């Protein structure tokens, strides 16, 4: 967390996960989608470990997941689609972290200003 540039702050992209339109329903909250995505991320990490690409890569219960769409954090209690302005197909950035999301945002802004 001693990053001086945005490139140092951002970790490696774990995976790109594509899901079909039925993966998320119109009644799913952001929290519900996080529960659906966590095992997909864990599986990608496991496959990476088995392939020897990143033996240290893992995700566990202590890791938090945050979604960002169009540069804004998606709040857990909001509906994934209805409460966010998005056009399909949509890219949602997924952050895996242990600190508060606000700390990640502050660090990113500070690193971008240096």
Domain contains 102: yes
Domain contains 1: no
Query: If residue 73 lies in a helix (H) or strand (E), which one and from where to where?
Result: strand 72-73
Q: Is the pTM of this model over 0.85?
A: no
CA dihedral of residues 78, 66, 22, 42 (deg, nearest 10): -150
Show the domain range for 71: 6-11+32-113
Q: Can you give the pLDDT at residue 43? A: 87
Residue that wins the pLDDT comparison between 16 and 74: 74
CA dihedral of residues 79, 77, 102, 43 (deg, nearest 10): -70
Q: Can you give the pLDDT at residue 112? A: 46
Domain contains 90: yes
Domain contains 17: no
Domain contains 76: yes
Mean pLDDT of the chain: 77
Domain contains 84: yes
Domain contains 16: no
pLDDT in tens, 46-71: 887 677 666 566 788 888 888 888 77
Domain contains 20: no
What total number of domains does the chain contain? 1
């Amino acid at each position: 967390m001693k990053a001086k540039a945005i490139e140092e702050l951002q970790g490696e992209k774990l995976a790109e996960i594509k899901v079909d339109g039925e993966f998320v329903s119109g009644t799913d909250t952001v929290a519900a989608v996080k529960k659906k995505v966590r095992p997909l991320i864990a599986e990608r990490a496991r496959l990476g470990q088995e392939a020897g690409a990143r033996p240290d890569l893992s995700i566990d219960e202590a890791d938090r997941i945050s979604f960002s769409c169009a540069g804004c954090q998606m709040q857990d209690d909001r509906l994934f689609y209805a409460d966010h302005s998005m056009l399909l197909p949509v890219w949602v950035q997924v952050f895996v972290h242990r600190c508060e999301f606000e700390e990640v945002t502050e660090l990113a802004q500070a690193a971008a200003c240096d």
